[in-house]
Structure 1
Amino acid sequence: MQQTEQIFGLRAVIEAITAGKSIDKIFMQKGLKGPLYKELETLARKENLKLSYVPKERMDRFTKMNHQGVVASISPITLVDLENLVDEVCSSQEKPLFLLLDQVTDVRNLGAIIRTASCTGVHGIILPQTGSAPITADTIKTSAGGVFQVPIAKTTHLKDAIFLLQASGISVIAATEKAENDLYEVPMASGTAIVMGAEGKGISPSVLKSVDHKAKLPMQGPIGSLNVSVACGVFLYEVVRQRKA
């Protein structure tokens, strides 16, 4: 099992960002000053990377090496470029299928979703740059290797990804209890992208305003919602069902 890699030191982290490495999060010791620290902060914000300021005691728990007040976690998988992913899929697939995840922060839920995505023929998963679960060893384990089968891309704003998909002729459908129609009433047989939100928060209002259709699960019992990975499986297998009809 490949673990999330950690790198230490100012220069190492700056060079990793500059080289385009898939960085999950950066930890910086509180109160540090100097041009290199400023450079790192500016670069991290420019790339929309998660940056957390922590006390020295916590930094020292990461490693006994000379960390210079900076530690970064690098994703164990290589992310793909969003525009290239959409172009390649749309040019090679008659009925593209994408999955967008909004504010899904649990690493095991993410892994379970990726596993189902692999089983249902999803051509690409799109995550927001911030506010999403990191891809960790737990994610990889829960995905049963699906992270190595389904291309994953990140975007600064999910709305940008939605506009790109729509411009490529793909219908974007949001899974939300605020919908009037059940998912069985929404056409998904052609090029489709499903947007799933986190339990509790759901899909953000700005993303909901951007989609083509909204669909909900018909709930029969007293419990009002499903685990997001289960709900995602229901939606993706409805796509499979419609495409086999």
Structure 2
Amino acid sequence: MKNESQIFGIRAVIEAINSGKTIDKLFIQKGLTGELSKELMDLLKKGNISFSYVPIEKLNRLTRKNHQGVVAHIAPIAFHNLENLTLKVIESGETPLFLILDQLSDVRNFGAIIRTAECTGVHGIIIQKKGGAPVSADTVKTSAGAIFKIPICKVDHIKDAMFYLQASGIQIVAATEKASCPIYDIDLTPPTAIVMGSEGKGISNSVLKITDHMAKLPMYGEIASLNVSVACGVFLYESIRQRL
């Protein structure tokens, strides 16, 4: 598998972390033992770097090389700290507009959303460390380079990020077909963070429960839903329309 962002082998991953590389995804074989693997685990704990235990079959699908039970993907960007970014935006005097992606899985949708977000002046995109689409070469390409121009924050838990934003005076608006009112009835002129869900399941119920508003797009055709990147574009441009 040809992937310029992929590295494999325990020592290679250790050296990448020590050199300051941002690890986007890290897969470790279940039951991995040995002094070198212990050194890696200590390093991950010290750096608060998330990873997933997987069976060896998954690692073999990722690469045919001698991976030693460890495969990682290096992110092409450095991620931002949510608290620092939020304070910076508030102190700038601009009205905050954030985008929260709840378990979005398709890298091309991710890239398209990043591109639209940059075009609409979004101050930052928030994703979860586990379960979401990686920041891959496909993401960069689909974003048309916008990924290098907009801050992206990786957080341990989406809900904790939402609580922090709400405590900072930023309302949370969920884009969901479960809503009773259309997006056009929601006031998006205050500081706002818009939540978009995954392609298959939408926004998780636990996330929906703590949002301030839920909004939907009117649908008149036989197909009951839009592509998430298209729906995101409509929501973002409605926020711009209201703020002009």
Q: Counterparts in 2 of 1:193-232, with a 5 A limit? A: 193-232=193-232
Q: Which runs of 4+ in 1 moved over 6 A?
A: none
8 A contact 1:29–1:55 mirrored in 2:
no
CA-to-aligned-CA distance 1:37-64 (integer Å, 9 cap, x gap)? 245356657533234332498279444x
Q: Counterparts in 2 of 1:1-40, with a 5 A limit? A: 4-17=4-17, 21-29=21-29, 32-40=32-40
Number of aligned residue pairs: give it.
240
1:109 aligns with 2:127: no
Query: Which structure 2 segments of 5+ residues have no match?
Result: none
Structure 1 residues 26 and 242, CA, compared in 2 at 3 Å: closer, same or farther? same
The corresponding residue for 2:150 is 150
The corresponding residue for 1:82 is 82
Provide the C-alpha distance between the structure 1 equivalents of 2:142 and 2:59, rounded to a whole number of angstroms. Answer: 32
Q: Look up the equivalent residue of 1:49 and give its one-letter code.
A: F
Structure 1 residues 181 and 69, CA, compared in 2 at 3 Å: closer, same or farther? same
Provide the C-alpha distance between the structure 2 equivalents of 1:168 and 1:234, rounded to a whole number of angstroms. Answer: 25
RMSD value over aligned CA atoms? Answer: 2.4
CA-to-aligned-CA distance 1:55-78 (integer Å, 9 cap, x gap)? 498279444xx6433221111111
Q: Look up the equivalent residue of 1:135 and give its one-letter code.
A: V
Q: Look up the equivalent residue of 1:187 and give its one-letter code.
A: D
Structure 1 residues 104 and 57, CA, compared in 2 at 3 Å: closer, same or farther? closer
Q: CA deviation at 1:23?
A: 1.5
8 A contact 2:59–2:69 mirrored in 1:
no
Provide the C-alpha distance between the structure 2 equivalents of 1:88 and 1:232, rounded to a whole number of angstroms. Answer: 24
Provide the C-alpha distance between the structure 1 equivalents of 2:209 and 2:234, rounded to a whole number of angstroms. Answer: 23
8 A contact 1:112–1:142 mirrored in 2:
yes
Structure 1 residues 141 and 33, CA, compared in 2 at 3 Å: closer, same or farther? same
Structure 1 residues 190 and 57, CA, compared in 2 at 3 Å: closer, same or farther? closer
Q: Counterparts in 2 of 1:131-142, with a 5 A limit? A: 131-142=131-142
8 A contact 2:170–2:191 mirrored in 1:
yes
Q: CA deviation at 1:22?
A: 2.4
8 A contact 1:26–1:52 mirrored in 2:
no
Identity %: 61
Provide the C-alpha distance between the structure 1 equivalents of 2:89 and 2:53, rounded to a whole number of angstroms. Answer: 33
Provide the C-alpha distance between the structure 1 equivalents of 2:61 and 2:222, rounded to a whole number of angstroms. Answer: 46
The corresponding residue for 1:53 is 55
Secondary structure of residue in 2 paired with 1:48: coil
Query: Which structure 1 segments of 5+ residues have no match?
Result: none
Provide the C-alpha distance between the structure 1 equivalents of 2:77 and 2:222, rounded to a whole number of angstroms. Answer: 40
CA-to-aligned-CA distance 1:99-120 (integer Å, 9 cap, x gap)? 0000110000000000000110
Q: CA deviation at 1:154?
A: 0.6
Provide the C-alpha distance between the structure 1 equivalents of 2:203 and 2:62, rounded to a whole number of angstroms. Answer: 37
1:235 aligns with 2:235: yes
* Structure 2 length-normalised TM: 0.89
Q: Look up the equivalent residue of 2:52 and give its one-letter code.
A: K
Q: CA deviation at 1:220?
A: 0.8
